[in-house]
Amino acid sequence: YTVRPWETRKVRTTCSYCGAGCQLYLHVKENRVVKVSGVDAAPNHGRLCVKGRFGYHFIGSPDRLTQPLIKENGSFREASWDEALGYVAQRLSAIRDSSGPDSIGVLTSARMSNEDNYIAQKFARSVLKTNNVDHCARLCHASTVAGLAASFGSGAMTNPIADLSKADVILVTGSNTTETHPVTSTYIKRAVRFGKAQLIVVDPRDIPLSRHAVLKMTQKPGTDVAWINGLMHVILKENLHDAQFIKTRTEGFDAFKKALEPYTPDAVSQITGIPADQIVAAARLYGTAGVGNIVYCMGITQHSTGTDNVKALANLAMLCGNLGIDGGGVNPLRGQNNVQGACDMGCLPNVYSGYQSVTDTAAAQKMEAAWNTTHLSEKMGLKATEMIPMALTGDIKALYIIGENPMVSDPDLNHVQKSLQNLDFFVVQDIFLSETARLADVVFPATCFAEKAGTFTNTERKVQRIRPAVPPPGEARDDWSITSALATRMGVPMEYADAEAVFDEISRVTPSYGGISYHRIDADGLVWPCPTDDHPGTPVLHIGKFTSGLGKFHAVEFIPPAETPDDDFPFTLTTGRLLYHYHTGTMTMKSDDLNERAPECRIEIADSDALRLGVVNGEMLSIRSRRGTIQARATLTPAIMPGTVFIPFHFAAAAANRLTHAALDPVCAIPELKVCAVALSPAKMD
Ligand code: SF4
């Protein structure tokens, strides 16, 4: 497609892929997006990764949903909005009235805007009268929200991305940053190359970022609490901790200190496989840094001990006084474009927008007044990882899933499929007929980010605009508009002139967004908390005081993963993401350029394991766990610890989540997507 600059117009918006929130221009010719370029004047300085720059073909894909669909006799037929909305309103009302509000669940998406997410949770709470509302943060950073909130009072990134340039030491763990948050990784690499930062990388794989590290440690998957406790044991023993910070800013130190005693470098080495001298070296590097910055992602969070892992990192930062300072902090890189915003908007079963508890009567009364309703439930709702299994037991009878694809993203897919097929009524709202949408009774077609106005909140809590560049395909509508029309059909009028009117309501009821408006963020975003119209926003949290007052140390013990290798399943499987694809691939797999570079699922296996098993590069393998089997070609690599294999989870045809374990963290119910036991055999022998 020839693109001459004078034939196109440019629309500035926010990238819809990862949580870095890069600013980009969509170049539009004849109502089609034909090119993407970076915004030089934005914090990403014009930089975009391959997904942001070349992954736009999904917008104009002929596979986009254009019309509501209703399933009849096992097949979909097209329907009018009037018929589809009327049918869904009647079925959901009947199930709510006969089986009770808590028999229905709503799952929203981190890919949708703040406005879409806000209306979805308002629908669940004020129309269905249930707090059964959740979203995909349950699968990625629920443990961050729980762990950092318990430690600091606020479950979000403490410092901005640009602060990485001010760090003396950057500790990256459980984040393959160059592939999952590529532009963020450029800040880390530049801090090392042009700044003063020394980089420590801790990961079960030899990820590309480790080439820039002064120290690289390879741990057995699922042993994070042990190595973090080991670092703190050494820091205390060598008196490298910040005694003044601990005394004036924190509580719970004595019990925490006592719990660290068994975590000597030798003991930690036995558990983690990391040499003892590396534990000591890492402790000295981080402990003596003037400014230490911790960056982590799902390698830390997606464990049955995910909340403990996050608390352990919070302990480490407090121990060395690295909070409330420029360049420091504990910085979870949120995976999807608006996962921070979906949490902020209250798409969680325990809180309204701005983390106002549903069990707080004053908060419920405030929302009742704002929403002109009564009898909001003060009972905590179900989490996503509880709702889907409860569809199989019949306790959940209907689900309304907006922009999610659990048939690829959730653990133990064979179980997920049985659960979704057992629902009495199932509605999906999406931009494509995803693997999940195919199981639905009704499908609503939605607009994508390039077709609507709204806001995303990036990983550093910055609220930024998205703007419509092209018209929606067919009769697709904005998510907030579909959900509010459904509410109106169910007897609860929910009418807004546009997305800005929805945002104005968000600002009125959400204290941390109170001073944010479309007008104020038109040029650049604003970082919450921003409580008033003249507030400049808060890029660095916890200066002088934690959100909770004092920071809280937690004594955290190492607990092994829920499933470890044995004679029948001798390998540890860990899952993750690739540079060229995003989440369940519904968007990136519409781009030939990206598919060309990552056309199929491959399993990474250590050279030494392959030699022992007689596996050659490119050989098709059968991979079995106690829950399912998939086939994928082998990639032999020296970059993974022997005994461990890696499979990206993007590919529906060889879905890694057919193998993964649904063991849940007891605090936040995040599943253990990063560790399970598998067996390998040549595919031809099956
Ligand atoms: Fe988009 Fe993330 Fe890439 Fe930036 S780094 S262009 S936000 S996918």
Pocket residue to mutate for ligand 1, from 24, 37, 45, 49, most atoms within 8 A of Cβ: 49
Other C-beta atoms closer than 10 Å to the C-beta of 601 total 23
| Residue pair 272/227 in contact by the 8 Å Cβ criterion | yes
What is the domain-level CATH number for residue 116? 3.40.50.740
- Shared domain for 408 and 435, answered yes or no, is yes
What sign for the dihedral angle of Cα 281, 577, 480, 59? positive
- Shared domain for 450 and 402, answered yes or no, is yes
What is the domain-level CATH number for residue 603? 2.40.40.20
Low-confidence stretches of the chain (pLDDT beneath 50): 685-686
Q: How far is the CA of 229 from the centre of ligand 1 (A)?
A: 33
Question: DSSP label at 671?
Answer: B
Q: How far is the CA of 43 from the centre of ligand 1 (A)?
A: 12
Contacts of 596 by beta carbon, 8 Å cutoff, 6+ apart: none
Residue nearest to atom 3 of ligand 1 (CA): 49
- Shared domain for 148 and 284, answered yes or no, is yes
- Shared domain for 219 and 309, answered yes or no, is yes
How far is the CA of 571 from the CAs of 196, 435, 660, in angstroms?
39, 29, 13
What is the domain-level CATH number for residue 272? 3.40.228.10
Domain membership flag for residue 167: yes
Domain membership flag for residue 326: yes
- Please list the residues that pair with 24 across neighbouring strands: 13, 38
Element spanning 280, H or E: helix 276-288
- Shared domain for 159 and 101, answered yes or no, is no
- Shared domain for 313 and 256, answered yes or no, is yes
Angle at Cα 344 formed by Cα 350 and Cα 452, nearest 5°?
125
Number of domain units in the chain: 4
Domain membership flag for residue 76: no
Instruction: List the strands of the sheet with 526-527, edge to edge.
Output: 454-457, 462-466, 526-527
Element spanning 629, H or E: strand 629-637
- For 114-136, how does the pLDDT look when each residue is reduced to its tens digit (9 = 90+)? 999 999 999 999 999 999 999 98
Exposed e or buried b per residue across 317-356, where buried means at least 16 C-beta atoms within 10 angstroms of its C-beta: bbbbbbbbbbbbbbbbbbbbbbbbbbbbbbbbbbbbbbbb
- Shared domain for 391 and 320, answered yes or no, is no
Domain membership flag for residue 218: yes
Element spanning 357, H or E: strand 356-357
- For 476-528, how does the pLDDT look when each residue is reduced to its tens digit (9 = 90+)? 999 999 999 999 999 999 999 999 999 999 999 999 999 999 999 998 899 99
What is the domain-level CATH number for residue 30? 2.20.25.90
- Shared domain for 131 and 171, answered yes or no, is no
Question: Taking the mean position of all CA atoms in its chain, how far away is CA 51?
Answer: 17
Contacts of 99 by beta carbon, 8 Å cutoff, 6+ apart: 397
- Shared domain for 200 and 288, answered yes or no, is yes
Domain membership flag for residue 230: yes
Other C-beta atoms closer than 10 Å to the C-beta of 472 total 19
* Last residue within a domain, chosen from 495, 527, 559: 527
Cβ of 119 less than 6 Å from ligand 1: no
Tell me how far apart the alpha carbons of residues 57 and 63 are, in angstroms, rounded to a whole number: 11
Cβ of 205 less than 6 Å from ligand 1: no
Cβ of 640 less than 6 Å from ligand 1: no
Exposed e or buried b per residue across 267-306, where buried means at least 16 C-beta atoms within 10 angstroms of its C-beta: bbbebbbbebebbbbbbbbbbebebbbbbbbbbbbbbbbb
| Residue pair 594/54 in contact by the 8 Å Cβ criterion | yes
Cβ of 335 less than 6 Å from ligand 1: no
N residues, the chain? 686
What sign for the dihedral angle of Cα 356, 358, 360, 364? positive
Cβ of 15 less than 6 Å from ligand 1: yes
Tell me how far apart the alpha carbons of residues 494 and 91 are, in angstroms, rounded to a whole number: 19
How far is the CA of 195 from the CAs of 172, 240, 332, in angstroms?
17, 23, 22
Could you give the angle at which helices 499-509 and 114-122 cross, rounded to 10 degrees? 70
Cβ of 527 less than 6 Å from ligand 1: no
* Last residue within a domain, chosen from 474, 505, 527: 527
Question: Taking the mean position of all CA atoms in its chain, how far away is CA 49?
Answer: 18
Q: How far is the CA of 157 from the centre of ligand 1 (A)?
A: 17
Pocket residue to mutate for ligand 1, from 24, 25, 45, 48, most atoms within 8 A of Cβ: 48
- Shared domain for 490 and 608, answered yes or no, is no
Residue nearest to atom 1 of ligand 1 (CA): 52
Tell me which residue range forms the domain holding 608.
Answer: 571-685
Cβ of 42 less than 6 Å from ligand 1: no
Domain membership flag for residue 43: yes
Cβ of 22 less than 6 Å from ligand 1: yes
- Shared domain for 152 and 182, answered yes or no, is yes
Q: How far is the CA of 153 from the centre of ligand 1 (A)?
A: 29
Cβ of 17 less than 6 Å from ligand 1: yes
Tell me how far apart the alpha carbons of residues 597 and 228 are, in angstroms, rounded to a whole number: 36
Q: How far is the CA of 145 from the centre of ligand 1 (A)?
A: 22
pLDDT attached to residue 686: 45
Q: How far is the CA of 50 from the centre of ligand 1 (A)?
A: 8
Domain membership flag for residue 36: yes
Question: Above 0.95 for ipTM, yes or no?
Answer: yes
Three-state SS string over 401-464 comes to EECCCHHHHCCCHHHHHHHHHCCCEEEEEECCCCCCHHHCCEEEEECCHHHCCEEEECCCCEEE
Cβ of 594 less than 6 Å from ligand 1: no
Name the nearest CA neighbour of 323 among 56, 493, 547.
547
Domain membership flag for residue 585: yes
Token output for 681: 């055999």
pLDDT attached to residue 684: 64
Token output for 528: 């919450």
* Last residue within a domain, chosen from 469, 502, 527: 527
- Shared domain for 199 and 321, answered yes or no, is yes
Other C-beta atoms closer than 10 Å to the C-beta of 501 total 12
Q: Which amino acid is at 97?
A: D
CB burial class (10 A; 0-12, 13-18, 19+) of residue 498?
A: middle
In the block, residue with structure tokens 């390879």: 218
Atom of ligand 1 nearest to the CA of 21: 7
Element spanning 114, H or E: helix 114-122
